[in-house]
Chain A
Amino acid sequence: GDSVTQMEGPVTLSEEAFLTINCTYTATGYPSLFWYVQYPGEGLQLLLKATKADDKGSNKGFEATYRKETTSFHLEKGSVQVSDSAVYFCALSDNTGFQKLVFGTGTRLLVSP
């Protein structure tokens, strides 16, 4: 079945450092790809998405490019802030009748001043 693999955390960075969180997927067909963010004590929020190969999703300084050839959707940000500390989930949807999401295990990001 479909699956998503994320790098294990926590990822610990200093403010203004460059961030990469790796995500690879296994799926039949052509899934849509998502990054969700979970701030402490809250539910998940959609951060960005891409629906087809070579699409780049971006939001709040984060971006990720749908790479079909490497089945990857790595999350990047050029300069992280303390407020970016959260858990980040990569997910895919197989684009069948409804949006069934398959999640990765999540990567915790800790940013220190």
Chain B
Amino acid sequence: NAGVTQTPKFRVLKTGQSMTLLCAQDMNHEYMYWYRQDPGMGLRLIHYSVGEGTTAKGEVPDGYNVSRLKKQNFLLGLESAAPSQTSVYFCASSLGTREQYFGPGTRLTVT
């Protein structure tokens, strides 16, 4: 049972480039989330999804887009990367209002 997986694990982008982060879960969870973790700021919610085909904005959505075309996958896109998006990105999933399960993270550097 893989739980929550994220690809890639590391990525370096130049300003203005685009990329997509993939999150996959095999627990049949309805809810999925994308967070960013920055030093001294804990985790902040970027976007979330309460089911296949649905997405909603979290606390810091600007500069990001998401899609949930399949229940098991939640994609986070950066259309035009900026240095301020240098961060560690975590995906999580949950079964309703129960415990959230986190992936191992993606470390993104934008130069």
Which of A's residues lie within 8 Å of B, judged by CB? 4, 36, 41-46, 49, 89, 93, 95, 97-101, 103-106
Of B4, B31, B40, B90, the residue contacting A98 (CB under 8 A) is B31
* B-side contacts of A49, CB under 8 Å: 99
When chains A and B are docked, how far (Å) is the Cα of A95 from the Cα of B102?
19
Which of B14-22, B41-49, B61-69 sits within the interface? B41-49
Task: Give Cα distance in the complex from A99 to B93, angstroms.
Answer: 10
- Total interface residues on B, CB under 8 Å, equals 23
Residues 53 to 111 of chain B near chain A (Cβ within 8 Å): 58, 90, 92, 94, 96-100, 102-105
Chain B residues in contact with chain A, CB under 8 A?
4, 31, 40-45, 48, 50, 58, 90, 92, 94, 96-100, 102-105
Cα–Cα distance between A63 and B90 once the two chains are bound (Å): 26
Interface residue from A43, A97, A105 paired with B104 (Cβ < 8 Å) = A43
Please state if A98 and B97 are interface contacts (CB–CB under 8 Å).
yes
CB<8 Å pairs between A and B, sample of 30: A4-B42, A36-B102, A41-B104, A42-B104, A42-B105, A43-B4, A43-B90, A43-B102, A43-B103, A43-B104, A43-B105, A44-B90, A45-B102, A46-B99, A46-B100, A89-B43, A93-B97, A97-B50, A97-B97, A98-B31, A98-B50, A98-B96, A98-B97, A99-B100, A100-B58, A101-B43, A101-B45, A103-B43, A104-B42, A105-B41
